């Protein structure tokens, strides 16, 4: 099988490493020649180019660029593809991507491999990044079944656990487990910045430990990435934020009213509910 | 030096282990004979008893019980103490404890060693739990200086980094780094419970990974502990929650208004601000 990868970063590079080692021929495109050279040197691809024409030989093309570049790249890519080529992406929001790209290329399967590390770029690519991780496919009713099956087959080749759902269900689920946590976590750090007493800020900065570290981690991440998910998953994020805000108000009410029984009841439910997540 | 410890759990037990190994004689009190036996068997104490009269020989007594028991225990302890005995505690909220206990025993120094593990009880006690960890002392203006110095000396013997501040400053700082994160984190899990679509809940539970795991961790902890800190640090927690809620509303406004520049600015500040914490 000939695999094309556009965007040779952590995800694209790791897909290339794995699929080559499992017998595929892998062709990569990056906008930077330096990245193409590095990808070849690292054995991520058989061949790499800054020109999308290299994708002509691919049976399946993975678009592994940031969310904002997926649609324009597919637009440029289409003239180079043969009619049977399957295109898939790895974007972390699906509804707007699937909508836009399917109209450009009907043989498109939205995908989201849920794996990563703190690093980025071609040098961050590692083998077996997707083993045991969820890989969500978001076909629409009109998506060709053979295309979905083919992408699923590759995701399994990567060792991932495949889930299929609608783009909307995907976006709603990741709003809960990924995008809402990001905003709740960022708000925690932003609130601390409002503390006006320097002595207390200084003390807090020295006393902070694992609880604060873990709760603030995703909120202290890449700002561009945060904006991107808010932009692309705006409606579902706002929906989860509105529910979050209601729940927050109820916690505040219980504490203000010294309703300790209600607070304990809530915290018990929370403790139980968290155990339902496969963490 | 003769050390008394009332409450032989993770903290009390770990203090005992370390101070014995550094040459102190350690006497422990627990309300349960079984815990006393176990503490002796583990070498945490030279002697243990269910009777507070054992504390008569102590130069310094550590109260290592849950917040709600500190004041009543000191009330029962006072008749057994010689006038020079120093009493200190390890409670995670200081203002109400320092206020109540100082009036019972003027030679009292509020303390908060900021260390722990996920475990509890005498069998969870480990050596060197406090090495390199913050240990906050919260003397009042009228607290005898010699008593504060003595407790500081012991905290250093445990290998901790000692901070001195007022009870209020302590409570305000831990509201930011410990109690607010707990409520923000619990709210995250509580909000997810409100999702009415079972398919999405199921998907979210399977897709959740490190971001959700870390952000929800402290909110999924011991409910009784959560209620206790909310009860004892209510005013400071409500203060931080009110600021948190304002910041949350601003994040929501930016996203609703598609003000991506403002959102990116906030997330950049957040990313920078988090780096000021010694995590």
Q: What is the pLDDT of residues B185-237, one digit of tens each?
A: 999 999 999 999 999 999 999 999 999 999 999 999 999 999 999 999 999 99
Residue percentage of chain A with pLDDT more than 90: 98
Last residue of a domain, one of A128, A144, A165: A165
B115, B201 contact by CB (below 8 A): no
Q: Is residue B47 part of a domain?
A: yes
Instruction: Give chain B's mean pLDDT.
Output: 97
Closest-CA residue of A relative to B268 is: A223
Segment 213-272 of chain B within 8 Å of chain A by CB: 213-224, 226-227, 230-231, 234, 237-238, 240-252, 255-256, 258, 260, 263-264, 266-271
CA distance B225 to B223: 5
Of the candidates A238, A76, A102, the one whose C-alpha atom is nearest the C-alpha of residue A172 is: A238
Tell me the CATH number at A236: 1.10.3660.10
Note whether B165 contacts A203, CB cutoff 8 Å.
Answer: yes
Q: Tens digits of per-residue pLDDT, B133-149?
A: 999 999 999 999 999 99
Which chain B residues are closer than 8 Å to A170 by Cβ?
203
Residue A5: phi and psi, rounded to 5, are -130, 120
For residue A51, the model assigns a pLDDT of 98
Nearest to B200 among A169, A227, A230 (CB): A169
Give the number of other Cβ atoms within 10 Å of residue B128's Cβ. 14
Domain-embedded: residue B124: yes
B35 domain residue, yes or no: yes
pLDDT digits (tens, 9 = 90+) for A196-216: 999 999 999 999 999 999 999
pLDDT at B117 exceeding the cut of 90: no
Is position A190 within any domain?
A: yes
List, for residues A105-164, the tens digit of each pLDDT value: 999 999 999 998 888 999 999 999 999 999 999 999 999 999 999 999 999 999 999 999
Asked whether the predicted pLDDT for residue A1 surpasses 90, the reply is yes
Question: Which residues from A are below 8 Å from B211, CB to CB?
Answer: 177-178, 181-182, 217-218
Residues B198, B214 within the same domain: yes
Residues 155-174 of A with CB under 8 A from B: 163, 165, 169-170, 172-174
Could you tell me if A112 and A40 lie in one domain? yes
Q: Are residues B33 and B57 in the same domain?
A: yes
Q: Which contacts qualify for A29-35: CB closer than 8 Å, 24 or more apart?
A: A29/A4, A29/A5, A29/A54, A29/A55, A30/A6, A30/A122, A35/A8, A35/A121, A35/A122
Predicted local confidence at residue A117, as pLDDT: 81
Task: Let me know whether A240 and A208 are in one domain.
Answer: yes
The percentage of chain B sitting over the pLDDT mark of 70, rounded to a whole number, equals: 100
B279 part of a folded domain: no
Read off the pLDDT band of B53 (50, 70, 90): very high
The pairing of beta strand B47-49 with beta strand B25-29: parallel
All residues at 6 or more sequence positions from A66 whose CB lies less than 8 Å from its CB, including other chains: A228
Helix (H, G, I), strand (E, B) or coil at B273: helix
Instruction: Indicate yes or no: CB of A247 within 8 angstroms of CB of B194.
Output: yes
In a domain, A279, yes or no: no
Residue A237: pLDDT band (50, 70, 90) is: very high
A60: CATH: 3.40.50.720
pLDDT at B245: 98
| Same domain assignment for residues B10 and B96 | yes
User: Based on the domain organization, do A142 and A9 belong to the same domain?
Assistant: yes
Phi, psi of A86 (to 5 degrees): -95, 135
Spatial distance between the Cα atoms of A57 and A43, rounded to a whole number of angstroms: 19
- Kindly state the tokens that stand for A158: 């990567």
DSSP designation for A225: H
Q: Considering chain A, what is the average pLDDT of its residues?
A: 97
* Shared-domain flag, residues A143 and A192: no
The pLDDT, as a whole number, for residue B124 is 96
Interchain CB distance below 8 Å, A223 and B193: no
Residues 6+ apart with CB under 8 A from B156: B162
Both A144 and A156 in a single domain? yes
* Nearest chain A CA: its distance from B1 CA (Å): 29
**Nearest C-alpha neighbor of A232 from the set A65, A69, A97, A138:** A97
The stretch B150-156 carries a mean pLDDT of 98
pLDDT on residue A116: 86
Q: Which of B165, B199, B221 is the last residue of a domain?
A: B165
How far is the alpha carbon of A237 from chain B, nearest alpha carbon, in Å?
9
* E strand map for chain A: 2-6, 25-29, 47-49, 60-63, 86-89, 108-109, 111-113, 134-137, 161-164
Report the distance separating Cα A65 and Cα A46, nearest Å: 20
Please, which pLDDT band fits residue B119 given cuts at 50, 70 and 90? confident
The pLDDT value given to residue B172: 98
Instruction: State the nearest Cα–Cα gap between B144 and chain A, in angstroms.
Output: 23
Q: What is the pTM of this model?
A: 0.94
pLDDT at B159 over 90: yes
What's the confidence (pLDDT) of residue A150? 98
A190 CB contacts (<8 Å, ≥6 apart)? A219, B247, B250, B251, B266, B269, B270, B273
- Note whether residue B191 is domain-resident: yes
- On chain A, the residues whose CB falls within 8 A of the CB of B270 are 186, 189-190, 193, 219-220, 223
Residues B201 and B106 in one domain: no
pLDDT for the residue numbered A226: 96
Q: Which residues of A touch B230 (CB under 8 A)?
A: 255, 260, 263
Rounded to whole angstroms, how far apart are CA atoms B72 and B101?
A: 9
Q: Is B128 in the same domain as B11?
A: yes
**Confidence at residue A128, expressed as pLDDT on a 0 to 100 scale:** 97
Asked if residue A185 and residue A80 are part of one domain, the reply reads: no
Whole-angstrom distance, CA of residue B92 vs CA of residue B68 = 11
Where a domain ends, among B141, B165, B189?
A: B165
Per-residue model confidence (pLDDT) at position A118: 80
Same domain, A74 and A130: yes
- What's the domain range around B160? 2-165
From the list A205, A245, A278, the residue facing B252 with the nearest CB is A245
The reply to whether A259 falls in a domain is: yes
Q: Residue A182 and residue A227: Cα distance in Å, rounded?
A: 11
Task: Give one word for A28, left, alpha or beta, with left for phi > 0 and alpha for psi -120 to 50.
Answer: beta
B141 in contact with A at a CB cutoff of 8 Å?
A: no
* Chain B residues within an 8 Å CB radius of A251: 183, 186-187, 190, 241
Structural domain tally of chain B? 2
């Amino acid at each position: 099988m000939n695999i094309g990868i556009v965007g040779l970063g952590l995800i694209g590079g790791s897909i290339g490493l794995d699929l080559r080692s499992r017998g595929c021929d892998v062709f990569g495109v990056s906008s930077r020649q330096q990245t193409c050279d590095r990808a070849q040197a690292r054995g991520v691809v058989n061949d790499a180019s800054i020109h999308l024409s290299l994708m002509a030989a691919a049976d399946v093309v993975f678009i592994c660029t940031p969310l904002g570049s997926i649609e324009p790249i597919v637009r440029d890519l289409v003239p180079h593809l043969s009619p049977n080529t399957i295109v898939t992406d790895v974007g972390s929001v699906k509804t707007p991507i699937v909508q836009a790209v399917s109209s450009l290329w009907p043989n498109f399967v939205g995908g989201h491999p849920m794996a990563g590390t703190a690093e980025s770029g071609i040098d961050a690519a590692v083998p077996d990044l997707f083993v045991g991780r969820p890989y969500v496919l978001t076909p629409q009713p009109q998506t060709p079944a053979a295309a979905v099956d083919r992408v699923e087959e590759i995701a399994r080749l990567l060792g991932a656990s495949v889930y299929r759902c609608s783009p909307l269900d995907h976006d709603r689920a990741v709003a809960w487990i990924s995008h809402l946590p990001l905003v709740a976590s960022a708000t925690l750090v932003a609130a601390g910045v409002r503390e006006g007493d320097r002595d207390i800020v200084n003390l807090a900065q020295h006393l902070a430990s694992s609880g604060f570290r873990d709760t603030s981690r995703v909120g202290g991440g890449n700002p561009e990435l945060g904006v991107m998910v808010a932009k692309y998953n705006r409606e579902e994020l706002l929906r989860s934020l509105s529910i979050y805000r209601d729940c927050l108000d109820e916690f505040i009410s219980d504490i203000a009213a010294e309703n300790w029984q209600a607070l304990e009841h809530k915290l018990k439910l929370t403790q139980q509910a968290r155990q339902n997540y496969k963490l």
